[in-house]
Structure 1
Amino acid sequence: MLEKFFKLKENNTSVKTEVVAGFTTFMTMAYILAVNPSILGDAGMNGSAVLIATALASFVGTLLMALLANYPFALAPGMGLNAYFAYTVVIGMGYSWKLALLAVFAEGIIFIILSLTNVREAIFNAIPLTLKSAVSVGIGLFIAFIGLQDAKLIVNSDATLITYQTFKGETFRSVGIGAILALIGILITAILLIKQVKGGILIGILATWILGIICELVGIYIPNPEAGMYSTIPASIVSLDFSSFTETFGAVFTVDFKNFPIGDFVVIMFSFLFVDMFDTIGTLIGVSSKANMLDKEGKLERIRPALLSDAIATCIGAIFGTSTTTTYVESASGVTAGGRTGLTSVVTGLLFLLSIIFSPLFLTIPSFAIAPALVTVGFYMMGSVVKINFDDMSDAIPAFLCIIAMPLAYSISEGIAIGVISWTLINLITGKAKEKKISALMYVLAILFVLKYIFL
């Protein structure tokens, strides 16, 4: 049955490989179960309710991706979008979190309409192959950078913006030890992958976590919540109290429309839409490129159902009570572990559903244990750089700008914007428009990106 539905042999995979890949994807995404409640909690939302909403939205969205598109891509409330939700819309602009959820829901409706037409598919196909390769590389660097930060190996610095961990001072027994464990985890993961051990990334996560538990038990590692370093030992395993979910479920439909700020609402909604659209497209490009799912023209065969799954998940997530649900770049970890079909997504989705019950256990996985997986995935995604023709400067320069913009601007969509604008302008000004066959849609995208920087 699984073979027939997910076409495992056709995709050169097996049930075992897909299950391991699904576990791996979930383990690299599980941090959202801790981070999202924290961020949206700052907006006045109940943290426990947000955790349940996050898990349910991730389960539904990922299952939709599996059943509609048969791709190993997982979905969850997006990082960056949740920060915009909490710190810009609610705290900065002073609007209620219910209105922010309504904006997310409205954005999702528009997203569904665009997904049912050729608009989003046309945007995906209009981006030249060289930029698609650059997006994959840029995402790789971005993921690795996030991993290094999560492990506290890279930290903020007043003098140089960022710097490496010094491994000394008052926080050494927490931050320093965590960083060292992350380095050991990277080494373990690298050895496992070189030895071609199946599920090496997942084993690396678990091994690093176990080492953390041992270090805490013997007193080498001392948790320090103020420094973002928490206990590696679960206080409990299960929780069956779901009553808090009633605070966010359906709250999107209880917005008070008296003195409704229609002008600001439209701007907020389109801001969500803009970032969500290009984060999703960028993620699909990067992950599918890593899995060699793009055809010779750089097109993804089942792009429409994949985009539709993402759009529906956004609406459902808003109803549950969470910020924009989107395709996750960490899906690349499952792809790296061998995932090639929707069975990977089914496993990931079911784990998100189970995480509602086992939330105390999953929330205990330390960030330094997840970091080795993110760094390793970043390394794998760097491989797409060989697909860029560096002898053709009109392709190479925009690709380079796209790559460096993602980690430096801390945004996938910003990297795409810089890549599209620079590729279009450089080839237009140098008289290569006909040679490169610049489509009308690329001109439109370039103009829209420029207007975004002017007005948003």
Structure 2
Amino acid sequence: MDNIFKLTERGSNVSTEARAGLTTFLAMAYIIAVNPSLLVAAGIPMVAAVTATCLGAGIMTILMGVFSNRPLACASGMGVNAIVAFTLTAAAGNDWHAANAVIFVEGIAILLLVLCGLREAIMDAIPVSLRHAISVGLGLFIAMIGLKNGGVIVANEATMVALGNVSDPIFIMALISIIATVSLYAFKVPGALLGGIIISVLAGIPLGVTHMPEGLVSGLDFSSFGAPFLTDEAGTMGIVKVLTNPTLIVFAFSLMMSDFFDTMGTAMAVAKQGDFLTEDGNVKDIKPILIVDSAAAAVGGFVGASSITTFIESSSGAADGGRSGLSSIVVGILFILAAFFSPLIAVIHSAATCGALVFVGFLMMSEVHDIDWSDLLEGFPAFAIAAGIPFTYSISDGIGFGFLSFVLVASLTGQIKRVKPLMWVATLAFLVYFLIV
């Protein structure tokens, strides 16, 4: 085990990897309930959606662990699943098979870009300051997700966002989660992030937030598997609809842009916590990560689970000591088991993970001091990314703001030569992306 996953070399061990895997799984277990609830709106049967969500996440996370040997976990991405449910399905004539075929086509396309080296080359062309800014923006974004899940911040018509109801049991549970996580970390207790989740789940019992499971075992339904090649009532396969419909092809391009840069940002964030980010902001051995992540998108479309992507919550496990693919394999196994025990997993309220996500956000803010804020070309695009990611609630949109800002400031300050050719390519692609979404 040690030789396969290089545990000693990376300062880890089997128990630490197992704990980190459990931390990551608990931080992203909400997807088991949330993703099916959205896909049902597209017409996918509930049990089939649960089966596709759990098995798709489990299989691709295990493959990520095996091929990349990094603590990264995959599952159906939030945002894209809503697009599948409420936009793509309608655009495809209320055919969820065709909606998932769009995801399948997008995944195949981005996989080809990785195999030919373009995705990795574009990442290498990004200025170092922007790479640091991506980590900062993601830290704020992760913290924002945690606070939103815990009802600490809520939507407000007048101010867009506001403090939640402090007497709400969910708010109290989230607050306990934060306090427990910080306290355990301050006292150097191993597994502080996981401990914070467990304590808050237990605290949720008297608060009425944590409920007893409605049963233990659930069945499996594979009827959504092979979605792109299933037919509608007229006998037309979903994949055929996509390849003959310009509107759906445009959707595939838009989703490819989002997937392209979401994963880049996520990989950098987890690499920072998992100690596989170089000093100049490069992710070590990133190609296997990108290959599995790209294949995961296609697999997500194939099984009918929406796009499967690398989850930003993986950073919680990395912050809890995960350093190898062994923790990913633990996550994957837990997802596969969850396909049979989803009622039991459902008792973990998302507020219980608030402390873990907020604390990871705090840890990622350390990148701020690596940005030269006195240099307009370094500072302003970095600010555009750091602010853009949480403010738009989109990793790809925030990165796009930064790229466009970098080219603009470089042009205005006579430093256009600092824009590398592939940076131009990415910026132009973002410009097209913003115009058509």
Normalised by the shorter chain, which TM-score bucket?
Answer: over 0.9
1:92 CA drift (Å): 6.0
- 1:231-380 paired onto structure 2 within 5 Å: 232-239=211-218, 241-242=219-220, 245-255=221-231, 256-257=235-236, 260=241, 261-380=244-363
After superposition, give the CA deviation of every residue in 1:300-332 in whole Å (9 maximum; x if it has no partner): 231111101011222222222110000110010
Letter aligned with residue 390 of structure 1: W
Residues 263 and 309 in structure 2, CA contact (< 8 A), matched pair in contact too:
yes
* Counterpart check, 1:204 vs 2:196: yes
Shift of the 215–45 alpha-carbon distance from structure 1 to 2, 3 Å rule, reads same
Distance in 1 of aligned mates of 2:113 and 2:249: 17
Shift of the 317–93 alpha-carbon distance from structure 1 to 2, 3 Å rule, reads closer
Aligned to 1:408: 391
Distance in 1 of aligned mates of 2:364 and 2:212: 32
- 1:103-122 paired onto structure 2 within 5 Å: 103-122=102-121
Residues 8 and 341 in structure 1, CA contact (< 8 A), matched pair in contact too:
yes
* Counterpart check, 1:451 vs 2:396: no
1:82 CA drift (Å): 0.6
Residues 143 and 377 in structure 1, CA contact (< 8 A), matched pair in contact too:
yes
Residues 136 and 290 in structure 1, CA contact (< 8 A), matched pair in contact too:
no
Distance in 2 of aligned mates of 1:453 and 1:102: 23
- 1:220-231 paired onto structure 2 within 5 Å: none
Letter aligned with residue 190 of structure 1: V
Distance in 2 of aligned mates of 1:349 and 1:14: 18
Aligned length: 430
Residues 151 and 165 in structure 2, CA contact (< 8 A), matched pair in contact too:
no
* Counterpart check, 1:185 vs 2:177: yes
After superposition, give the CA deviation of every residue in 1:71-127 in whole Å (9 maximum; x if it has no partner): 111100100111111111124664411001111111111122111111011011111
Q: Secondary structure at the match of 2:19?
A: helix
* Counterpart check, 1:145 vs 2:128: no
Distance in 1 of aligned mates of 2:307 and 2:102: 10
Aligned to 1:214: 206
Distance in 1 of aligned mates of 2:370 and 2:333: 35
Residues 38 and 85 in structure 2, CA contact (< 8 A), matched pair in contact too:
yes
- 1:126-141 paired onto structure 2 within 5 Å: 126-141=125-140
Shift of the 426–79 alpha-carbon distance from structure 1 to 2, 3 Å rule, reads same
Residues 156 and 162 in structure 1, CA contact (< 8 A), matched pair in contact too:
yes
Residues 148 and 154 in structure 1, CA contact (< 8 A), matched pair in contact too:
yes
TM-score for the superposition, normalised by structure 1? 0.91
Segments ≥4 residues shifted beyond 4 Å? none
Q: Secondary structure at the match of 2:42?
A: coil
Q: Secondary structure at the match of 1:163?
A: strand
After superposition, give the CA deviation of every residue in 1:238-288 in whole Å (9 maximum; x if it has no partner): 22x21xx23211232113438945212211211221111111111112221
Letter aligned with residue 439 of structure 1: K
Residues 209 and 232 in structure 1, CA contact (< 8 A), matched pair in contact too:
no
TM-score for the superposition, normalised by structure 2? 0.95
Distance in 2 of aligned mates of 1:380 and 1:238: 38
- Structure 2 residues not aligned, in runs of 5+: none
Distance in 1 of aligned mates of 2:399 and 2:199: 36
- Structure 1 residues not aligned, in runs of 5+: 222-230
